[in-house]
Structure 1
Amino acid sequence: MKNWMWIAIGLMIVVAVFYLIKWKNAGVPERNKVPLDQAYLNFQAINEQYQSKLFKIERICTVAARSASSPEPIRVFQTVNQQLIIDADPKVDEETKNDYRYYKLDQQGRLVDSIYIKYEGYWPKFIARFMVFSNEQKAYYTTWPLDGDTTRHHFVSLNADFSWPKDKIDQKIRAVKKSGHYYFFHAFRDHGKDFRWLAFYEQQHWYMLWEKMPGYTEVADEDSGYRYRSDVFHTGTPDPVIPEDVRLIHFYPEEKMEYKHAIGGGTPPSSATNWRGKGFFSTVIAGNNFPFKVDQLVVEQEGFDKFKTRLYTLREPGGVARIYEPAFYRSEQGFALYSGNWDELYIIRPQ
């Protein structure tokens, strides 16, 4: 009786192992049995565990959500004193979706300040050393980009009672534009009436010059306050074609997999079968070679575009491939910013 019991247990184990192997190999028709060349064993993924005598890596920020209204959830732009400001979407839920989050890097790429701003109905604009906040009725500014000061300084209103004649308003607008100082327009409709105000900086003060308009007025791009900001780097709109400043040294296939490409726009995903494995790359940062690896990588080359190298990552068989772009921003001071996906940003500094 005991012998039959052990036989039954043995059969159950065999069946369980069979189904485990079958489950593990689902969507994986083939595996590579050739070991990885030892020349690539010391390559490391780009994260805070990267060990090097030449480079130090830190993660600056991550974002939790991405939407059609914010396809580039991490944005980087230049500001005063050769510093960089990182604008990272803070949304984690409906309550935080309109808030603002910024990080400031100095010339050496060190994180020197950060700020989180709850949405209070104002839209921020970065204009040189000023951070200007405005809505349809009011405006104030801080000097956080320059010195980290978040003290609110309110604008001085001109013609708030609309007593100025039209020619006086036009004359002031021409003088402001000619002076070369900072300025921008904002136009809006309130209770069926149209208004416009001109914000401008003059004699160490910010002003708002009010004006009634005969109808709807559209502010041209060259008169918008957003023209003073120029992004130099962002995440979220990657290109699968490998950048020219990055070289794929070697691809080590591990398992052949079935997967999908999400095309979007209501078009059904397309299917593909390819090898997933490890990619070994190199680029140059601060004049030194910077090697790194990427796990779960899929490399595609198709004849329709002259066999350009396209990169994707794939978590599991049958899943949707995610575009991978090893994107770097290199500063003149030597440090670099890196992002492979829309949700995180790293800084790589020379040791």
Structure 2
Amino acid sequence: MVSAPAIEGTGEVACAPRWMPSERTRRKVLEPLRRRVLGPLFTRLGYDLLPAVPEWEHRPLSRREVDRLVRGAAHHIAVDLEAAGLPVPADMEGLVRSFYDEIRSCPVRQKHGGNGFNGALELFVVARVLQPDVIIESGVFRGLTTWVLRKACPEARIFCFDAVFSNLQHRDPSAIYYEADWSGFDFGGIDLSRALAFFDDHIDQARRIIEAEKRGLRHLVFDDNTAAHRIHSHGGPAYPTVDMVLDDIPTEPVRWLRNGREFVYEADPSVVEAVRARVETVRHIDDLHGVTGYSPARLTYVKLKDRRI
């Protein structure tokens, strides 16, 4: 075995420099290989090839196009906030623009799974508008949404819940991490009436609504809420979703096929009644794909009735 050469006069061993492909090599060789060979191969095997960079690294540079993107996103989110009964920030465009610039510094290199730019932006705006004292995040994944929530609410107490934190790329130094279901956590008498709960945990959303109401929560945001006739196109939302519970009770079981596996949902009238009795407002936030070009968001804001009344 040949040992690495020593650096003369130091006694230290020299390490071979790490090879990094040039921009020309990346453009002329690696990217075509990825697009023409690896991409189709992974697709045929049933996998999605990971993108090279987070989607927000792809962005317009000319001022007019940036302005159009920001203006369009701000308008659609403002419409949804107003419809949900939430206040609309006076400088909505400025808020969107600042987030659009700041997300490039995000330490989470979200390339596959989890929220993209649109979902991150919408969660940021909703949290900034509500300004909760306490935030409950159920389903953390790599830590993108924890970063987003901290940017929106610097002073909030954030509680992060997940079955496993091995995928984390960002850990908030001030947040509390609990490797278990949120429903078993003792909040020690904290008033949760002004808290915000964000659920992206692939757990039955009807169950989450009932649990949240029992804890005194009123403001919830769900990812992956979808109607029964669209659930086949989603990558694994828990069911019943918010929409499935609030829809008319089907006269027969709802069935769908995904990746060769058949799923069946039979509505439980008692669960449907319990959820409907607790929900005051539901608002789907625009997916923003049409105005930003980024992957569609699937966030839904749910406000629960005040049980003290």
TM-score by length of 1: 0.21
Structure with more of its chain in strand, by fraction = 1
TM-score by length of 2: 0.23
Task: Point out the structure with max Rg over C-alpha.
Answer: 1
Higher relative contact order (CA 8 A, sep 6+): 1
Structure with more of its chain in helix, by fraction = 2
